[in-house]
Chains A and B, each alone.
Chain A
Amino acid sequence: MATISIPARTDYMKRGIAGWLATVDHKRIGIMYLASTFVFFLLSGLMALVIRLQLAAPGLQIVNQDLYNQLFTMHGTGMIFLFTIPCLVGFANYFLPLQIGARDVAFPRLNALSLWLLVFAGVVMEGGFVLGILGLLPGGASNAAWTAYVPLSNKQFSPQIGMDIWLLGVVLLGVSSTLGAVNFLVTAYTMRAQGMTIWRIPMFVWAMIVTAAMVLIATPVLTAALAMLIADRNFATQFFNTANARLWQHMFWFYSHPAVYIMILPAMGIVSEILPVFSRKPLFGLKAVVVSTILIGILGFTTWVHHMFVSGVDPIVERFFMLTTMIIAVPTGVKMFNWLFTLWGGSISLKTPLLMCLGFLSTFVIGGLTGVIQALIPLDMQLHNTYWVVAHFHYVLFGGSVFGIFAGFYYWLPKITGRLLNDTLGKINFALMWVGFNLTFFPMHLLGLMGMPRRIATYTGDRGWDLGNLIATIGAFMIAVSVLIFMANFIQSLRRGEPAGNDPWEGNTLEWTTTSPPPEHNFAVLPSVNSERPVRDLRLAAAGQPPAASREH
């Protein structure tokens, strides 16, 4: 097999604005995905800061109640649909073809369409929100929460055009992510390098395969529900009239529970890539991790009713969904232990990417446990819609997905930019983010147990909620500082970062055989693969050692 190291031909990176707009190159599209979703992350984060300011003490009126409702609606929608889901798609765009040794995705033009649909929908939704604040959009933006339950979201109770804009935006985002999913599935199926048999597929690629399959099954249901609501609002149809208001909840959660896995599986994939590299060991129980990922993908479709335990569903049905929800903890636990035993006995290098993964492991476990607790119907009757739930899903989505995404940034940005990020700044970033995160969200468990409901714009001082809320607000600003440090780190690395070289981390997967950034068509010679760690094999061969680890599974 040829050694793949050709001089960087990075001029495709320099061809001006038009070059970017017209590109169908998966790497450029990936970069634009990452950049635009990061902007949406900052916007949703700013909204979270306003939310936290308003709740810092009882009775504050920093924004009025209607604006507060718009803020948490857009915060939630933005974080989920405009940041977490598409940001992970951005990583997949850039790295899935590289990791499987392909020159691009299967349908490059479709890929560009997904990107521009995302950007367009994001601009429309955030734009609608800003217009609302400026008073240019009568009635303001959507303020019915990201769940948009009927009848609150129908024409009678939410007459504003902002609600329709929101619905249309989410439809467009659904189309964008469906197109992306088709693309990834076909790419991973047809374009893998020679020798990349099923058990040699990198973990991140596996995660994207399962995620894409979930997107294909779940998204059409959400899109249908949104279209039906748009019709109800504008063409006097009666899909979600009083007699079947619960239908919306079923359709919404049939998508939105799997959406949790659509957000967490790729992040788990990133973690499964990084842990072996930074502990110099193979992933423990690779097959078990893959099978668990697939099982989570399947079981993820059997649990949606756990969001409806108090909305009046048949009791036998409820018990069934309680059990299925709890069962998901088993494959999740299997993954957890395999990660822990990947670290065990390794040679652990505490660089920022690994730290972010430890952030993932240490906080995601709390989200997992609180999830099982909530799945118990009697406890859910007490916890539903309280701040406990807000704590739980931030432990999963922030503690899980966002730490995974930042691990991905620190691990892969050097491949994209060709320059390393500063590791000391990275460590400060990690420490502030981890502490800030726990300060923000841990007290919310206790607030929930004290009976504080979510989605309230203010509260009075006689409920005992002051201290927890104050701590949460302080934590939120620590997170904000940590994100600023990340941005400073990124900018300084572009200016004067150390050159990354092809393989700064002693990586395992094929993206580390090519230059950083990779040339236009990724590889001069298409690589071939003999184990699940092809780049390690190359390294060992170059050092004159036999590729010992190419143990066949």
Chain B
Amino acid sequence: MLVPPASYDARLINDLFGIVYVLSFIIFILVEGLIVFSVIKFRRRRADETPNQVHGNTAAEIGWTVAPALVVGVVFGFAVDTLGRMTARGSPTMPLAHVHNINDKEALRRIEEAKQVDLVIEVVGRQWVWQYKYPGGNVTANETLIVPANKTIRLDMTTADVIHAWWMPAFGPMLYVNPGEVSYVWFNVPPGEYIGQCNVFCGVAHAQMISKVRALPEDEYNRWFQEQTAGVSGRVAVGDPQRGKDIFMNQNICWSCHTIDGTKAQGNVAPRSLTRFATYDTIAEVVPNTAENLRDWLHDPQAIKPGTAMPNLNLKPQEIEDLVAYLQTLR
């Protein structure tokens, strides 16, 4: 691994890598060495050379059948042992982080019992964004998941459309998120910023399906969580284009699908550029381009234009207000 392992599972994977690298390297050197040596030592020197006609050697055949078989056996042993110790797969009550049927109550219960966790977060993958829902249901997030550091977190992952895979290289294991099923990831990581992205090809903007994790010390996390809960019920102030731009370019992922000339937003998932959006007659060529319609659009694009490729980004009322203010400056 070239990403420093941050979780227990990632460290296990890293150790196993260490073993197989050494073994592979020995075999690699042996084979390449034999090639180079033979080519130099046995190259043809005289046109009429006739080498000894050796047809084979039974002892050698047995040797190079048995030796690789032994190596394979040993490595298999190491791999099974690692599997047994991994959080993602090892627990005897719950050997696989996967429930095949979203309605299978018994399996869901076994997942609950498999491991003590401090926090459960629901994850929904959709084309092309990861969305997170914290306990209580009021706090949501896109793309960046904020968690308390050094706590055991479980992600309950589902998909709204095709197969995706939520994956943080620094955390180790990945698992597909299949339609109609629930997949689980456990991790416990030190404070820090981590980045990964969707690992199953899921359509046009698969490359933009980034996921980030920010692990905060517990008190900082608690403060953040309080702010979020307050933000939902708090009063909505008049939109601020500057804040809106920041949401568009940094806090949210609008930039990854849309183009606005002269900014970092150079995505090409959306058909029309937003550079002169305020001058357009319609939104998404279905409803007139008014502030009210724009609010509705940002609140839930599918409700305005079913089947559109623009996802519902779970924007908060204040964010919508700021984005509307910003979008209306684009002429």
Binding site for B on A (CB under 8 A): 59, 61, 64-66, 69, 143-145, 149, 151-152, 157, 242-243, 245-246, 279-282, 284-288, 310-312, 314-315, 319, 322-323, 326-327, 329-330, 333-334, 336-338, 340-341, 343-350, 358, 361-362, 365-366, 369-370, 372-373, 376-379, 381-382, 384-386, 446, 449-451, 453-459, 463, 548-549, 551, 553
Contacts and interface: CB of A to CB of B under 8 A. Distances in A.
21 contacts: A65-B204, A243-B180, A279-B42, A279-B51, A280-B44, A280-B49, A312-B96, A322-B76, A326-B76, A336-B31, A337-B64, A344-B38, A348-B42, A366-B28, A376-B20, A378-B13, A384-B174, A384-B199, A453-B199, A455-B201, A458-B207
Nearest to B78: A376
B3 A456 contact: no
Contacts of B329: none
A65 B205 CA distance: 7
A548 B16 contact: no
A185 to B, nearest CB: 27
Interface string B185-210: 00000000001111111111111000
Contacts of A242: 179-180
Contact of A449 (B2, B27, B176, B196): B2
Closest 8 CB pairs of A and B: A451-B169, A456-B207, A381-B173, A285-B56, A347-B49, A343-B38, A376-B79, A312-B98
Interface string B110-149: 0000000000000000000000000000000000000000
Contact of B179 (A245, A361, A455): A245
A549 B52 CA distance: 11
A198 B109 CA distance: 60
B39 A358 contact: yes
Contacts of B3: 449-451
A279 to B, nearest CB: 7
Contacts of B79: 322, 376-379
B61 A334 contact: yes
Interface string B1-38: 11100000010110011001000100110011011001
Contacts of A311: 163, 176, 178
B178 A312 contact: yes
B46 to A, nearest CB: 8
Given A333-B68, A347-B42, A385-B165, A284 B96 contact: no
Q: Which of B16, B82, B198, B207 has the most CB of A within 10 A?
A: B207
B20 A381 contact: no
Interface in B63-107: 64-65, 68-69, 72, 75-76, 78-80, 82-83, 86, 88-89, 95-96, 98, 100
Contact of B35 (A246, A340, A446, A551): A340
A282 B72 contact: no
A365 B161 contact: no
Contact of B172 (A145, A287, A382): A382
Interface residues of B, number: 85
Contacts of A281: 51-54
Given A346-B42, A451-B169, 7 more contacts: A242-B180, A312-B100, A340-B35, A346-B38, A449-B1, A450-B3, A548-B53
Contact of A347 (B17, B50, B65): B50
B197 A453 contact: yes
B125 to A, nearest CB: 13
Contacts of A377: 79, 83, 89
B16 A379 contact: yes
B51 A61 contact: no
Contacts of A312: 96, 98, 100, 175-176, 178, 181, 183
Contacts, number: 254
B83 A378 contact: yes
A322 B83 CA distance: 12
A162 to B, nearest CB: 14
B39 A369 contact: no
B171 to A, nearest CB: 10
B70 to A, nearest CB: 10
Contacts of A551: 55
A65 B207 contact: yes
A385 B163 contact: no
Contacts of B83: 319, 377-378
Nearest to A540: B50
Q: Which of A143, A337, A343, A455 has the most CB of B within 10 A?
A: A337
Given A314-B96, A381-B174, A362 B35 contact: yes
A294 B169 CA distance: 39
A36 B266 CA distance: 40
A145 B96 contact: no
Contacts of A145: 201
A284 B42 contact: no
A340 B38 contact: yes
Q: Which of A64, A281, A312, A456 has the most CB of B within 10 A?
A: A312
Contacts of A453: 167, 197-199
A281 B42 CA distance: 12
A348 B39 contact: yes
Contacts of B76: 322-323, 326
Given A369-B28, A548-B53, A382 B174 contact: yes
A249 B199 CA distance: 16
B266 A365 contact: no
Q: Which of A282, A341, A451 has the most CB of B within 10 A?
A: A451
B268 interface: yes
Contacts of B34: 340, 343-344
Contacts of B88: 381
Given A314-B96, A326-B76, A385-B199, A286 B35 contact: no
Contact of B39 (A333, A350, A451): A350
Contact of B53 (A282, A323, A338): A282
Contact of B55 (A286, A370, A451): A286
A333 B70 CA distance: 12
Contacts of A246: 178
Given A361-B35, A372-B72, A280 B65 contact: no
Nearest to B102: A242
Contacts of B45: 347
B162 A152 contact: yes
B273 to A, nearest CB: 13
Given A157-B203, A381-B172, A449-B2, A345 B266 contact: no
A450 B197 CA distance: 12
Nearest to B168: A451
Contact of A376 (B16, B44, B207): B16
Given A312-B181, A372-B72, A378-B13, A450 B169 contact: yes
Contacts of A463: 195
A144 B268 CA distance: 18
Contacts of B181: 312
Contact of A330 (B65, B174, B206): B65
B165 A310 contact: yes
A386 B3 CA distance: 13
B57 interface: yes
Contacts of B176: 310-312
A285 B55 CA distance: 6
